[in-house]
Structure 1
């Protein structure tokens, strides 16, 4: 006659804490700046293709570095950043991103009225000012500004930076405030820093309320849709710059 052993509930194994900190964020930022400077120096008289490379490559490479850091020094972007597909995060990102799109549009309109059209231009807009791109390259820029750049920037600012500050046991409010400020300053557009703060607030809110990166990526992409569409139409010569 056998005796059954009582079932003892087992706890899931604890998730390993990532081993990267603020240095990882600064390294990814250094990659962005270094690639930008090297491309600008190498392509002193850029054609259309070179312009697209100057706009796309620094951001994509910096985002790739952020992912690589999580793979080498952490648990990968899914666990370290919460970068996974959840409908709840997508819907939250869409809702907050929609609100952010409205507030950003209003803020941009007021900013241009107060400061003038030139002060309202982003670096991307300035580089493409007066440049008519071939349709294929115009679509590449559209997709980059709308989908790819937001993903890469979120990996850096609300991925690496956010996670590094959480590792230091900072409160969520402090993490939100500082990452929002660094995001605005890190674009290296001093004339537009105040406007970029308005842009960054709803994106950071999406990250804070869900605790995961997916929502902030979606919110960022929603916020970038209209500027990306405007760049597409201008680049194709369908709308005046």
Structure 2
């Protein structure tokens, strides 16, 4: 019984809607702008802060909103430790990693030459210490997926369920918004390929744990690449 997807009634017991998602996005943008204005080109540590903190703050806003206007992330997002969800996330994430790797190779070969990720572009010329490189690795691999999932397939998905939109609609729209919100127009199609398996994990389980795990699995290779790049073990 506990491993069944949440029902539409369960998903609508919270009291937050689309405004919650926009609030988290606004915090992300505001923190990014404030850090850029305050730190500017202050070195590698400043760059790491500008990459890490906006995402963490947005994720924190998602948690606070569920506590104030809902039942907490465990119930509202289905962010619970269940081996069935972890297994589903690992399986779908593994499949997604394969499809993403193939899509990335094809995109690198035939896509626009300037289509590089924002994080990768910022780190190309950065001289990071091993400690800072590990921080970026752990953030991209583990922390960013958790925060992003709480915002996109937590707040946004939950808002659409509260409006009584179908789960399939929530999957399609959250996937599209996730890809577009990265503000990398040249890579939007590739980001859609990356986002689809992650959304599928949320769709089939009805809970966020599976999509977080799938997202983390999918981010492992890019995170490892950034680590090796930052340490000078891969060419820029």
Q: State the TM-score bracket (shorter-chain normalisation).
A: over 0.9
Structure 2 unaligned residues grouped into runs of 5+: 1-8
Tell me: CA distance 1:46–1:190, structure 2 relative to 1, closer, same or farther (3 Å): farther
Return the match for 1:182 from 161, 177, 181.
177
By how many angstroms is 1:143 displaced? 0.1
SS of corresponding position for 2:64: helix
Q: Is 2:82 aligned against 1:82? A: no
1:28 aligned residue: 24
Q: Is 2:27 aligned against 1:41? A: no
| RMSD, aligned α-carbons | 1.2
SS of corresponding position for 2:67: helix
1:170 aligned residue: 165
2:205 aligned residue: 210
| Offset from partner CA, 1:69-116 (integer Å, 9 cap, x none) | 000000000000000000000000000000000000111111111124
Contact 2:77 2:207 in 1 (8 A): yes
By how many angstroms is 1:46 displaced? 2.8
Structure 1 unaligned residues grouped into runs of 5+: 1-13
Return the match for 2:155 from 126, 141, 160.
160
1:149 aligned residue: 144
Task: Figure out how many residues of one structure are paired with residues of the other and give that number.
Answer: 227
CA distance in 2, matches of 1:23, 1:101: 32
For 1:1-150, what aligned pairs fall within 5 Å after superposition?
17-119=13-115, 121-150=116-145
CA distance in 2, matches of 1:65, 1:43: 23
Runs of 4+ in 1 over 2 A off after TM superposition: 115-118
By how many angstroms is 1:118 displaced? 3.2
Q: Which moved more, 1:86-95 or 1:182-191?
A: 182-191
TM-score for the superposition, normalised by structure 2: 0.94
